[in-house]
């Protein structure tokens, strides 16, 4: 059975829950802003991502409250002072970040409420967060309102002017090490994701090579009842069906596919191919 939600004909019950629990995991922008009177604000937004490298553009979206159609202070602030600092949220600060998302009044400084340390920014007025290992000083280039009703988002287009990276999260060749970074993501309801050795794995995709594609796999492999789509995709990442180099084996098709499955699990795709040929 498939549940459908006919949004076009006005069925919006549960839309927030379905959208926010389906589009996951989301990175979290911890956004520091100030209003025209200099009041500081710090709030998390998981409707967030990077959308351009040159120029470097990050976008987050404060959504109008469904309950009373009011706007978030962060949105009010970037319309007054077109600057912000976006910090990233790691496991050790996630609980404090959650605390900062309470509906404090506009004059309340969430740095103080949630126990964060302000560091003066170099190029913009809002301070950055000392406890976050990555901070982006940004100017706000544009704000695009997507609607006027409760639930409407406003895209805040932020151009990165300066990036601050704590070197302790860098690994070899000065590349950000995901295990050192320990980033946290947002899922539906109250769920968050951690970045652990158990939850991360690599998909090696040599950009120098063009895979043959699943449609070019020999039919008996493509229609296997034993190999999954992921396993077929590993085999189909080879440029072409390899030549048979190993001795003929006397396994039947089922046995071949089971053995290839085991080899693929061990990361031995060339050996898996040889069994299948």
Ligand X SMILES: Cc1cc2nc3c(=O)[nH]c(=O)nc-3n(C[C@H](O)[C@H](O)[C@H](O)COP(=O)(O)O)c2cc1C
* Residues near ligand X, by CB under 6 A: 28, 41, 43-47, 61-63, 72-74, 98, 101, 103, 186
Other C-beta atoms within 10 Å of 10: how many? 7
Q: Shortest Cβ distance from residue 69 to ligand X (Å)?
A: 13
Nearer to ligand X, 59 or 217 (CB): 59
Residue 90 or 224 having the CB closest to ligand X: 90
- In this complex, which beta carbon is closest to ligand X, that of residue 33 or of residue 237? 33
Give the nearest distance from C-beta 248 to ligand X in angstroms: 58
Q: For ligand X, give the closer residue by CB, 101 or 165.
A: 101
Q: How far apart are CB 70 and ligand X at their closest, in Å? A: 9
Cβ proximity to ligand X: between 143 and 251 the closer is 143
Cβ atoms 272, 260 nearer than 8 A: yes
- Tokens 């409420």 belong to 113
List, as own/partner pairs, every contact residues 242-250 make where C-beta atoms lie below 8 angstroms and the sequence separation is at least 24, other chains included. 242/270, 242/273, 242/274, 242/277, 244/274, 244/277, 245/274, 246/274, 246/275, 246/277, 249/275
Toward ligand X, which CB reaches closer, 126 or 227? Answer: 126
Dihedral of CA 52/58/63/64: which sign? negative
H helical segments located in the chain: 15-22, 73-80, 94-100, 110-113, 178-181, 219-222, 229-235, 253-265, 269-276
**Shortest Å, Cβ 182 to ligand X:** 16
Minimum distance, C-beta of residue 22 to ligand X, in the bound complex (Å): 15
In angstroms, what is the minimal distance from the CB of 49 to ligand X? 11
**CA 75 – CA 98 distance, rounded (Å):** 18
Q: With beta carbons less than 8 A apart as the criterion, state whether 261 and 270 touch.
A: no
């Amino acid at each position: 059975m498939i549940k459908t939600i006919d949004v076009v004909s006005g069925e919006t019950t549960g839309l927030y829950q379905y959208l926010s629990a389906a589009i996951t995991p989301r990175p979290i922008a911890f956004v520091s802003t100030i209003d025209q009177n200099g009041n500081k604000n710090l709030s998390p937004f998981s409707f967030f991502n990077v959308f351009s490298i040159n120029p470097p553009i990050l976008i987050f979206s404060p959504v109008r409250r469904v309950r009373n159609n009011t706007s978030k202070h962060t949105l009010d602030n970037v319309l007054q002072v077109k600057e912000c600092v976006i910090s990233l949220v790691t496991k050790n600060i996630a609980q404090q970040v959650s605390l900062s998302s309470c509906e404090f009044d506009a004059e309340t400084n969430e740095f103080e409420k949630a126990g964060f340390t302000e560091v003066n920014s170099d190029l913009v007025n809002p301070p950055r967060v000392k406890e976050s290992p990555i901070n982006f000083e940004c100017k706000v280039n544009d704000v695009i309102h997507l609607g006027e009703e409760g639930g409407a988002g406003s895209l805040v287009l932020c151009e990165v002017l300066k990036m601050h990276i704590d070197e302790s999260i860098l690994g070899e060749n000065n590349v950000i090490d995901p295990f050192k970074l320990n980033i946290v993501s947002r899922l539906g309801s109250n769920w968050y994701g951690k970045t652990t050795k158990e939850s991360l794995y690599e998909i090696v995709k040599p950009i120098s090579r063009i895979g043959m594609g699943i449609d070019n796999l020999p039919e008996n492999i493509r229609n296997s009842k034993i190999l999954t789509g992921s396993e077929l995709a590993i085999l189909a990442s080879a440029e072409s069906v390899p030549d048979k180099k190993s001795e003929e084996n006397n396994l039947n098709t089922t046995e071949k596919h089971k053995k290839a499955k085991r080899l693929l699990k061990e990361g031995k795709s060339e050996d898996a191919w040889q069994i299948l040929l």
